[in-house]
């Protein structure tokens, strides 16, 4: 019986005349059966129906032998219900099936069937053929014939045509270090902590070192003395101390104010300049990434232009402008100060090997920065540096013995360190071997003491590291640097740690110690051994300054930053409001935000009070920020080379 064929899927490639005839026969037969069946359908007695054998022969026949469906027969309350195999459509009589012209799925009855497509296909404009669509999951066509993709429940579409599990962030945080958010089917990581940004891997968070570099340079800009250039970015600062001059009338305006006061002090200023230049020479990529090269060049030049002015004769250098007593008795704007600002010098009879060589080191280091950018300026700096070095070397003495007031401010107790530091930078700048020979001589003859810190008074750790770098001899000199200095700062050795993990050196300006040592650690780590240990340690210590113990110690940056730095000019409201001791005593935050300034920081118990009179913990200085900024550059450099701890 041909009907059996109809119970198998039939190729839909156009019905032949034969199949049309067969269908007609089936329809006729079914109609005949139906007319005689109705009365006794429920009796179970239809054995004599002429179509019974044919129905039983269909491969999809249901359990009931009562069924008269042509193809699929399912038991139902009323006896059975009929449906058709794929490619067929139920006849209007509800029993027989007719081949349909849909390519895939045929729905409805012969008189009103519609074509549908399986998942991943969509109906073409002809209403019967199905086209594969580019969607990953659910595919539809809009009225204009364009594919419309969508996703099944629990998935969301990304920007293309693929579907992403919307629970991905929940189940594994998407690999994010901090927050994971689904973003139209794909997740994105974010860093909700104030002051942190996503790293290039898209997963982990770090402090925004670019921003810290930018802000630290703003701090130096806020410290500028003299006639400010038109591109000054600190709107609450203007020209000040423009009349600073030597007793001979030589102009020594310019430079930077030392701290929260308005003195210009040669030794910490030179130290700051050399450490900033060192950080730039070593980690220039960080300044490029942060978009801060030009600001940094301007910052360095502001130092070296002033040093040039102070170097009034070959053997004469002005190392202090202003008197501590008069300056510190004044609380107000530098633009409005009127006290005498005498200039103090060192010379052959009143020498100052320390300040003169510290300045030589700074000028030589800055000359390296300008060597290709401005060769003639770089050459000028080298000339001054060489003269100052020769002066300091041949006329030995402590500058704070020559300038009495300096002993009240930054008293010096060593100068061989400054001499060696200058020799290193001069060798770096000129490649003249006599400088390296002198540096190595000094190194070989130095007492093997552990430096207290790397800072304005003692740059021993710096020159030991520079000799190592300049000679490439990590076996001879490495031990000095590592064992005598950095190892002492590691947990469990010479220095105590606070409960929150800060290495503790001194309660006055503590963060300057941990961050300048961090810079030394990062610079040494560039050379090799103990690399991971020192990088990890430096990151921990620097990140404490940025907020890791719950608050930031950098003005204008991160979470809960200091608002009351011990700093005169930023404590003043905008003019014409007056600024005097009442502003010092005010309990309001500083009206001007001294962006980027690192304050002294916490004590050995992690205690810190953000109050203006707290100069131990809340003053800011050129030298605090120098080691800090260069350490920041070092950490940013590690991110850029893919070696961030
Ligand atoms: C050095 O300066 C002091 C004043 O600061 C002066 O008395 C002395 O004569 C100077 N020495 C030389 C060699 O110029
Ligand atoms: Ca950047
Ligand atoms: Ca010294």
SS in 3 state form for 32-88? HHHHHHHHHHHHCCCCCCCCHHHHHHCCCCCCCCCCCCCCEEECCCCCCEEECCCCE
Domain that includes residue 453, residue range: 206-640
When mean pLDDT is compared across 397-411, 427-441, 459-473, the lowest value belongs to 459-473
243 and 99 in a common domain: no
560 and 461 in a common domain: yes
Answer with the one of 83, 115, 147 that is the final residue of a domain.
115
**Mean pLDDT on 68-90:** 85
610 secondary structure, DSSP code: -
Q: Which ligand is nearest to the CA of 403?
A: 1
pLDDT greater at residue 10 or residue 188: 188
Q: Which of 343, 347, 394 to mutate to test the pocket of ligand 1 (most atoms within 8 A of CB)?
A: 347
Question: Is there a domain that residue 385 lies in?
Answer: yes
What CATH code is carried by the domain that includes residue 513?
1.50.10.10
What is the number of structural domains in the chain?
2
Answer with the one of 115, 135, 153 that is the final residue of a domain.
115
> Which structure tokens are listed for 50?
């002429």
The half-sphere exposure of 534 on its side-chain side, counting CA atoms within 13 A, is 26
What is the pLDDT, as a whole number, of residue 186? 66
Neighbours of 20 (CB within 10 A): 12
Question: Is there a domain that residue 178 lies in?
Answer: no
**pLDDT higher than threshold 90 for residue 426:** yes
What is the pLDDT, as a whole number, of residue 370? 98
Answer with the one of 65, 93, 115 that is the final residue of a domain.
115
**pLDDT higher than threshold 60 for residue 29:** no
Calculate what percentage of the chain has a pLDDT beyond 90.
Answer: 67
11-15, 151-155, 212-216, 530-534: which has the highest mean pLDDT? 212-216
What is the pLDDT, as a whole number, of residue 5? 30
Question: Is there a domain that residue 27 lies in?
Answer: yes
Confidence of residue 606 (pLDDT cuts 50, 70, 90): very high
**pLDDT higher than threshold 80 for residue 89:** yes
Neighbours of ion ligand 3 (CB under 5 A): 354, 414, 417-418
Average pLDDT, the chain: 87
pLDDT greater at residue 104 or residue 522: 522
94 and 241 in a common domain: no
432 and 327 in a common domain: yes
> Measured over all CA atoms, what is the biggest interatomic distance in the chain, rounded to whole angstroms?
138
When mean pLDDT is compared across 225-234, 430-439, 525-534, the lowest value belongs to 525-534
What is the pLDDT, as a whole number, of residue 65? 58
- ∠266-269-273 over CA atoms, to 5°? 135
**Mean pLDDT on 520-539:** 92
Distance CA 212, CA 289 (A): 12
Confidence of residue 55 (pLDDT cuts 50, 70, 90): very low
pLDDT greater at residue 511 or residue 117: 511
**pLDDT higher than threshold 50 for residue 311:** yes
> Which structure tokens are listed for 250?
């030589």
593 and 448 in a common domain: yes
Distance 353 CA to ligand 3 centre (A): 9
**pLDDT higher than threshold 80 for residue 156:** no
Question: Is there a domain that residue 494 lies in?
Answer: yes
590 and 480 in a common domain: yes
Question: Is there a domain that residue 595 lies in?
Answer: yes
210 and 106 in a common domain: no
What is the pLDDT, as a whole number, of residue 18? 39
Beta strand 317-321 with 155-157: parallel, antiparallel or unpaired?
unpaired
pLDDT greater at residue 41 or residue 398: 398
pLDDT greater at residue 462 or residue 3: 462
Active site positions, annotated: 261, 566, 610, 619
- Residue with CA closest to ligand 1 atom 5: 345
Q: Which ligand is nearest to the CA of 312?
A: 1
Give the ligand 1 atom nearest the CA of 402: 5
Distance 291 CA to ligand 2 centre (A): 7
Question: Is there a domain that residue 219 lies in?
Answer: yes
What is the pLDDT, as a whole number, of residue 187? 78
Name the pTM for this structure. Answer: 0.78
Distance CA 386, CA 432 (A): 11
75-84, 294-303, 446-455: which has the highest mean pLDDT? 294-303
Question: Is there a domain that residue 42 lies in?
Answer: yes
338 and 216 in a common domain: yes
Residues with CB under 6 A from ligand 1: 345, 347-350
113-122, 130-139, 244-253, 465-474: which has the highest mean pLDDT? 244-253
- Residue with CA closest to ligand 1 atom 9: 349
**pLDDT higher than threshold 90 for residue 77:** no
Q: Which of 314, 350, 399 to mutate to test the pocket of ligand 1 (most atoms within 8 A of CB)?
A: 350
Question: Which residues does residue 157 pair with via DSSP β-bridges, in sequence order?
Answer: 163
Q: Which ligand is nearest to the CA of 200?
A: 2
Question: Is there a domain that residue 175 lies in?
Answer: no
């Amino acid at each position: 019986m041909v009907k059996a064929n109809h119970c198998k899927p039939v190729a839909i490639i156009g019905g032949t005349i034969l199949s049309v005839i067969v269908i007609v026969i089936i329809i006729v037969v079914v109609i005949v059966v139906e007319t005689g069946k109705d009365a006794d359908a429920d009796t179970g007695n239809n054995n004599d129906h002429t179509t019974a054998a044919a129905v039983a022969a269909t491969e999809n026949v249901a359990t009931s032998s009562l069924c008269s469906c042509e193809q699929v027969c399912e038991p139902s309350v009323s006896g059975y219900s009929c449906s058709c195999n794929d490619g067929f459509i139920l006849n209007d009589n509800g029993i027989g099936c007719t081949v349909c012209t849909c390519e895939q799925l045929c729905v409805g009855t012969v008189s009103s069937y519609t074509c549908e497509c399986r998942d991943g296909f969509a109906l073409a404009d002809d209403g019967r053929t199905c086209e594969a669509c580019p969607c990953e999951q659910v595919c539809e066509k809009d009225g204009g014939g364009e594919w419309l993709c969508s996703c099944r429940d629990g998935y969301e579409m990304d920007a293309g045509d693929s579907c992403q599990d919307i629970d991905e962030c929940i189940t594994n945080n998407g690999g994010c270090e901090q927050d994971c958010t689904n973003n139209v089917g794909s997740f994105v990581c974010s860093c909700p902590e104030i002051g942190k940004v996503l790293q290039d891997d898209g997963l982990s968070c770090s402090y925004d070192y670019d921003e810290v570099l930018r802000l630290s340079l703003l701090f130096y800009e806020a410290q500028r003395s003299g006639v400010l250039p038109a591109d000054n970015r600190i709107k609450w600062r203007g020209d000040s101390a423009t009349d600073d001059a030597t007793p001979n009338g030589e102009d020594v305006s310019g430079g930077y104010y030392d701290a929260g006061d308005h003195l210009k002090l040669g030794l910490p200023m030179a130290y700051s300049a050399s450490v900033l230049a060192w950080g730039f020479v070593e980690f220039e990529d960080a300044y490029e990434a942060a978009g801060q090269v030009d600001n940094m060049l301007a910052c360095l030049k502001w130092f070296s232009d002033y040093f040039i002015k102070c170097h009034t004769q070959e053997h004469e250098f002005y190392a202090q402008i202003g008197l501590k007593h008069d300056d510190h008795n004044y609380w107000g704007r530098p633009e409005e100060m009127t006290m005498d600002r005498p200039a103090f010098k060192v010379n052959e009879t009143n020498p100052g090997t320390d300040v003169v060589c510290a300045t030589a080191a700074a000028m030589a280091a800055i000359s390296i920065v300008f060597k290709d950018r401005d060769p003639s300026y770089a050459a000028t700096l080298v000339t001054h540096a060489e003269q100052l070095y020769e002066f300091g070397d041949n006329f030995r003495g402590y500058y704070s013995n020559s300038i009495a007031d300096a002993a009240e401010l930054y008293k010096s107790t060593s100068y061989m360190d400054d001499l060696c530091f200058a020799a290193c930078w001069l060798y770096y700048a000129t490649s003249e071997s006599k400088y390296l020979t002198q540096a190595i001589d000094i190194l070989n003859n130095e007492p093997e003491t552990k430096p207290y810190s790397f800072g304005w008074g003692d740059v021993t750790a710096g020159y030991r590291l520079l000799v190592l770098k300049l000679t490439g001899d990590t076996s001879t000199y490495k031990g000095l640097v590592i064992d005598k200095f950095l190892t002492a700062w590691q947990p469990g050795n010479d220095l105590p740690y606070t409960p929150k993990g800060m290495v503790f050196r001194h309660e006055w300006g503590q963060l300057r110690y941990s961050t300048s040592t961090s810079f030394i650690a990062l610079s040494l780590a560039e050379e090799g051994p103990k690399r991971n240990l020192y990088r990890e340690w430096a990151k921990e210590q620097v990140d404490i300054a940025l907020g890791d113990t719950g608050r930031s110690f950098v003005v204008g940056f991160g979470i809960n930053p200091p608002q009351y730095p011990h700093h005169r000019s930023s404590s003043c409201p905008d003019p014409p409001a007056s600024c005097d001791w009442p502003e010092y005593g005010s309990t309001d935050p500083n009206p001007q935000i001294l962006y980027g300034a690192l304050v002294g920081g916490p004590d050995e118990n992690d205690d810190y009070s953000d109050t203006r009179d707290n100069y131990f913990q809340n003053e800011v200085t050129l030298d605090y920020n120098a080691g800090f900024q260069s350490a920041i550059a070092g950490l940013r450099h590690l991110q850029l080379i893919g070696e961030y701890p």
